[in-house]
Amino acid sequence: MSPDGGSGSRAPILAVSHARKTYGPVVALEGVSLTVGEGEFVTLLGPSGSGKTTLLKAIAGFEEIDDGRIELAGQDITDMPPARRGIGMVFQNYALFPHLTVARNIAFPLEMRGVARAEIDRRVEEILRLVELEGYGARLPRQLSGGQQQRVALARATVFNPRLLLLDEPFSALDRKLRESMQVELRHLQQRLGLTTVFVTHDQEEALLLSDRIAVMNHGRIEQLGHPAAIYDHPASRFVAGFVGEANMLRGHVAGSRGGHAEVALDSGDRLAVDLPPAARGAGDLQLVLRPERIRWLDDAAQADNAFPAVLVEHLYLGQNSKYRVRLASGLELTLRTQGEGEPLAAGTERLVGWDARDIRGVPCS
Amino acid sequence: MSAATIRRRGSMGRGRRAARIALHAWCGLVFFFLVLPLVVVFPISFSSSAYLQFPPPGYSLRWYREFLADPNWVDAAWRSVLIGSVTAVAATILGTLLAISLVRGTYPGKGAVEQLVMAPIALPSIVYSVAAYQLFSTLHLVGSWQGVAVAHTVHALPLVVVVVGASLRTIDVSTEMAAQGLGASWFTAVRRITLPQIRPALVSAAFIAFISSFDELVIAMFLGGINLTLPKKMFDSILYEIDPTIAAVSVLQIALVVLVLVVIGRFGSGVRPTS
Ligand SMILES: Nc1ncnc2c1ncn2[C@@H]1O[C@H](COP(=O)(O)OP(=O)(O)OP(=O)(O)O)[C@@H](O)[C@H]1O
Ligand SMILES: [Mg+2]
């Protein structure tokens, strides 16, 4: 596997190289490179203003890039008008044509391609069935619910077998339950039609759930590109660690070794056993990531490589899991997460907490 | 529901009812004021008397016959309808293109273009007419109906730009983008997606342009020469030979405008974009 968890054996459909885009003084894209393989589902994940929409619009042809190159199926499309790119896009607000019925909306890309009327009718029927909107063809978009409009937009963007499907935060306007069922539906449709897909979201759970690979964006750059598990377990930067999932961020430096592990002295004064790659051992300052679900309650200090007495600061019950904030003797505060309801602990309770040397990750200092 | 909320709702209902009565009264007053001239003009046009006399001593259709029998009147009426129609079509097409450029475009000097387009609104008609006369006399357009139509078109442009521009701003640009992404050229996207969404505004704009020309006197006076438009002919007839023909013409004019309004009401309503 390539370092970015590359498109693997799949033939690359989309290749963006060194794309740069500025709006006056604002740098929206700063040398972004990305390849997407055939049938792959890649998610652009990042905070607001990180350049996700800009990258999507550049791929679709709605924004010209100042520099760089975009290829689709081996063909340079950097300067090609959007109409000729053959890319389907679902806009954040759906952008359905309000004056046309659902069927006419979906028929539009086929009409533009000169498909015969009978064939258009057949394909519109077929895709309406696929998105479970049979019998809704004669309605106007405003007569549909948000989730139904969403499905019409998806049908319209896929009915002409696009070479690439782009979705810009398609579910952000839906309530949680509907969003979850739409996520599943999208994934099924995408796999069934074998659609190469670039999906934009700022919801990290959605990204982890849906994607073959995730590109984490920040300030117009891709900070990390990889499989969801790799992004979560081996964040490449402090930003990625903080943005994808929750993280306890610790700073320190290597102070020796302990039982086959490196020993790290934290700025707080605590000393930890950490599994560090040999390359990182000599380094000066270290940034460490400790996921809240890696920390456990201990009965005995021998149960983990690292064990500390701690005082409970607060307990948050979150339904499927529980979150605790604890303070170590050094004053360092950590977040701890357990599955299930968790023990109802009162603030001030003293407990032993701990984690193993391999539960903690180093990321480059920034 | 507690007694207090019921009472509050009750008093609010009374307040609202009073307000509604006041509103109706006001609307009735305005309506009366607007319709009053009609109440006078309409009977006079059917008068049997040779003078403008109210109430008329008897009724007849003689002034309508008079109008139809006089080629000067009929020519003037046709000329005005022709100029108004050309103005409506030309101003709507040009004004819509301008509105698209002003609302959607990003280019240097956009502000200046906007000011220039709006200038005829601010300019007094006389000043505009004199300037047009100067220009058109070098182009040999003075005295032709085409000259009046050109001047009326420029005069109506700002009205079209305002009406169409306002409507363009309310519709979602991303629908036009989406259409292009789905395979439409920019022109096709505008024609099939953008314009249908603003159809009511286009129809209103055309109507306003038509009326602004059909009703216009000053420009037509300067540029019309011997080719009289209806307003100019009416103006002349009031000056020289006042008789109830003028009332008959007014009624016909009103009837035409009402007819256009009805046609618009029938075909002009379109789909409003969802918010
Ligand atoms: N048309 C524009 N003119 C000027 N600046 C723009 C324009 N479009 C985007 N930007 C700027 O470019 C940067 C990236 O914007 P972009 O819309 O790509 O962000 P995003 O990641 O999609 O954010 P969000 O999650 O809020 O949609 C932002 O700083 C934004 O202000
Ligand atoms: Mg965006």
What ipTM was assigned to the predicted interfaces of this complex?
A: 0.79
Residue A290 structure tokens: 């400790």
- One domain, residues B120 and B21: no
Distance A139 CA to ligand 1 centre (A): 34
Chain A residue with the nearest C-alpha to that of B178:
A95
Closest ligand 1 atom to A52 CA: 21
User: Residues B111, B27: one domain?
Assistant: no
Q: Do B33 and B76 belong together in one domain?
A: no
Residue B80 domain flag: yes
Closest chain B residue to A153 measured between Cα atoms? B178
Please give the average per-residue pLDDT across A187-196, as a whole number: 90
Structural domain harbouring B29: 1-38
More confident residue, A106 or A268: A106
* A254, pLDDT greater than 50: yes
| Whether residue B13 sits in one domain with residue B83 | no
Percent of chain A whose predicted confidence (pLDDT) is above 90: 50
Asked whether the predicted pLDDT for residue B141 surpasses 50, the reply is yes
For residue B44, being part of any structural domain is answered with no
Same domain, B32 and B77: no
pLDDT level of residue B269 (50, 70, 90 thresholds): low
Residue B164: inside a domain: yes
Q: Tell me whether residue B58 is in a domain.
A: no
Of B178, B271, B272, the CB nearest to A91: B178
Question: Can you read off the two tokens belonging to residue A228?
Answer: 């969801």
pLDDT tens, residue by residue, B1-46: 444 444 555 555 678 899 999 999 999 999 988 888 888 888 888 8
Inter-chain CB proximity A91 and B272 less than 8 Å: no
**Nearest ligand for residue A58 CA:** 1
Q: Assign A2 a pLDDT band (cuts: 50, 70, 90).
A: very low
Model pLDDT, residue B268: 60
Residue B51 lies in a domain: no
The arithmetic mean of pLDDT across residues A77-90, rounded, is 93
A26 CB under 6 A from ligand 1?
Answer: yes
**pLDDT for B35-90, tens place per residue?**
888 888 888 888 888 888 778 888 888 888 988 998 988 999 999 999 999 999 99
pLDDT tens digits along A26-63:
999 999 999 999 999 999 999 999 999 999 999 999 99
Q: List, for residues A217-226, the tens digit of each pLDDT value.
A: 999 999 999 9
Instruction: State pTM to two decimals.
Output: 0.79
What CATH code is carried by the domain that includes residue B189? 1.10.3720.10
pLDDT for B11: 56
Percentage of residues in chain B having pLDDT higher than 90: 43
**B19 lies in the same domain as B76:** no
Residue of A82, A98, A157 with shortest CB distance to B274: A98
Note whether A146 contacts B: Cβ–Cβ < 8 A. no
Statement to judge: residues B79 and B170 lie in one domain = yes
What is the distance in A from the centroid of ligand 2 to the CA of A122? 34
- B15 with B134, same domain: the answer is no
Same domain, B32 and B76: no
Report the C-alpha gap between A222 and A44 in whole angstroms.
Answer: 9
- To the nearest whole Å, the CA of A98 is away from the closest chain B CA by 5
Ligand nearest to the backbone CA of A24? 1
Residue bearing the CA closest to ligand 1, atom 24: A48
Instruction: State which ligand 1 atom lies nearest to the alpha carbon of A56.
Output: 18
Q: Do B193 and A97 count as a contact with CB atoms less than 8 A apart?
A: yes
Q: Which residues surround ligand 2, an ion (CB under 5 A)?
A: A 53
Counting atoms of ligand 1 from 1, which one is nearest the CA of A51? Answer: 18
- Judge whether B121 lies within some domain: yes
Counting from 1 in the atom list of ligand 1, the atom nearest the Cα of A63 is: 1
B25 CA distance to ligand 1 middle (Å): 53
* Nearest protein Cα to ligand 1, atom 2: A23
Give the distance from residue A142's alpha carbon to the nearest chain B alpha carbon, in angstroms. 6
Q: Are residues B109 and B224 in the same domain?
A: yes
Q: Output the CA torsion B192→B194→B199→B201 (10° steps).
A: -160
Tell me what pLDDT residue A146 has: 87
Ligand 2 centroid vs B117 CA: distance in angstroms?
35
| Interface with chain B: mutation pick from A97, A143, A148, A150, highest number of B CBs within 10 Å | A97
Is residue B31 located within the same domain as residue B75? no
Tell me if B273 and A98 make a contact (CB, 8 A cut-off).
Answer: yes
Closest in A62, A113, A142 to B183, CB measured: A113
| Chain A CA closest to residue B184 | A83
Determine, for residues A95 and B197 on separate chains, whether the beta-carbon distance falls below 8 Å.
no
Among the partner-chain residues A60, A83, A91, the one whose CB lies closest to the CB of B185 is: A83
Inter-chain contact B274–A88, Cβ cutoff 8 Å? no
Residue B12 lies in a domain: yes
**Among A71-75, A128-132, B46-50, the least confident range:** B46-50
Q: Is residue B273 part of a domain?
A: no
Nearest CA to ligand 1 atom 26: A48
Which residues of A fall within a CB distance of 8 Å from B197?
97-99
Q: Kindly determine whether residue A60 and residue B175, on different chains, have CB atoms separated by under 8 Å.
A: no
- Cβ contact, residue pair B182, A160, below 8 Å: yes
Over its C-alpha atoms, chain A yields an Rg (Å, rounded) of 24
In chain B, the number of structural domains is: 2
Predicted confidence (pLDDT) at residue B274 exceeds the cutoff of 60: no
Mean pLDDT confidence for B106-135 = 89
With CA atoms as reference, the chain A residue closest to B275 would be: A142
Residues B4 and B93 in one domain: no
> In chain A, what residues touch B175 (CB-CB under 8 Å)?
95-98
Chain A residues touching residue B180 (CB < 8 angstroms): 61-62, 81-83
Residues A357/A305, Cβ–Cβ less than 8 Å: yes
β-pair type (A26-37, A41-45): unpaired
